[in-house]
Amino acid sequence: MKEDTDIDKAISQHIEMESFFSGGTSLRSDKVEQPIDSAKELELIAAEVRACRKCDLGESRTNAVPGQGKANAKIVFVGEAPGADEDAQGLAFVGRAGQLLTKIIEAMDVNRTDVFICNILKCRPPGNRDPKPDEIISCLPYLQRQLELIEPEIIVALGAHAAKTLLNTNSTIGQLRGRFHDYYTSEEAEPINLMPTYHPAYLLRNYSQDNRKKVWDDMQKVMKELGLPIKK
């Protein structure tokens, strides 16, 4: 019994010490867990992104593009990086590729405002060059935190960079697309279904019937998984 009391005392002292050093009372043992306000937390991440200078892109960008959409979205679309239009407006997928993405989302009978749309990189690489590995390493924690907060049912990775980064693989987008993969926000978390597909910008450059069908096939699998009616 005395041993239990000693352990309780030690834990209590530890909590008080942590509370003292953290300058607040949030670690008090009688703290009631508050539900996380995802929208507020996402806005805090967005504010961090707008002030971020962790890589060189922070100097060359016009606006950072944290991503936007519903805080409790069932689907999150993740692209590669902002382009010129996105850099000018500070919003993800607002250029031509963004317009095509809107068409794809609406063809799924989903409102664009009901999903969350963002990128692996939050700032535009000059001349739309490919993201560099050190830029991805610096920026990825923002996306990981966004996904952890939103906890979507499905992540759609748009293009090779998004798919390869999120799945930590060197496989090509052609090999990855067309089936669900597991994405984990943490070691303890349940996996989230991740569907890789072609980036709308790639689709615009290669607007063949075959490529459009492949993307639509991928989106139909997403719709089926979410229980949405499948249109032929």
Q: Dihedral (C-alpha) 124, 129, 132, 135: value to the nearest 10 degrees?
A: 0
> How far is the CA of 82 from the CAs of 63, 125, 211, in angstroms?
10, 8, 23
# binding residues, ligand SF4 (CB under 6 A)? 14
| DSSP bridge pairs for 196 | 157
Per the structure block, which two tokens stand in for 156?
Answer: 């759609």
Element (H, E) at 75: strand 75-79
* Cβ proximity to ligand SF4, 77 vs 142, nearer residue: 142
* Cβ proximity to ligand SF4, 49 vs 147, nearer residue: 49
Listed ranges 28-36, 83-91, 119-127, 166-174: which one lies at the site for ligand SF4 (CB under 6 A):
119-127
Q: Lay out the site mask for ligand SF4 across 34-53 (x = CB under 6 A, - = otherwise).
A: ---------------x--xx
CA gap 23, 12 in Å, rounded: 16
Which of 196, 194, 134 is CA-nearest to residue 161? 196
Helices and strands per DSSP (H, E), number in the chain: 10, 6
Q: Taking the complex as a whole, how short is the minimal distance between the CB of residue 54 and ligand SF4, in angstroms?
A: 4
Task: Identify residues 56-85 at the interface with ligand SF4 (CB under 6 A).
Answer: 57-58, 64
CA gap 150, 76 in Å, rounded: 8
* Cβ proximity to ligand SF4, 54 vs 212, nearer residue: 54
Distance, CA of 70 to chain centre: 12
112 binds ligand SF4 (CB under 6 A): no
54 binds ligand SF4 (CB under 6 A): yes
CA gap 196, 175 in Å, rounded: 10
55 binds ligand SF4 (CB under 6 A): yes
Q: Taking the complex as a whole, how short is the minimal distance between the CB of residue 122 and ligand SF4, in angstroms?
A: 4
Q: Taking the complex as a whole, how short is the minimal distance between the CB of residue 198 and ligand SF4, in angstroms?
A: 23
Task: Identify residues 122-141 at the interface with ligand SF4 (CB under 6 A).
Answer: 122-123, 135, 138-139
Q: Where are the beta strands (DSSP E) in 96-210?
A: 116-119, 154-158, 181-183, 192-197
* Cβ proximity to ligand SF4, 53 vs 96, nearer residue: 53
* Cβ proximity to ligand SF4, 56 vs 153, nearer residue: 56
Q: Which residues bind ligand SF4 (CB under 6 A)?
A: 49, 52-55, 57-58, 64, 121-123, 135, 138-139
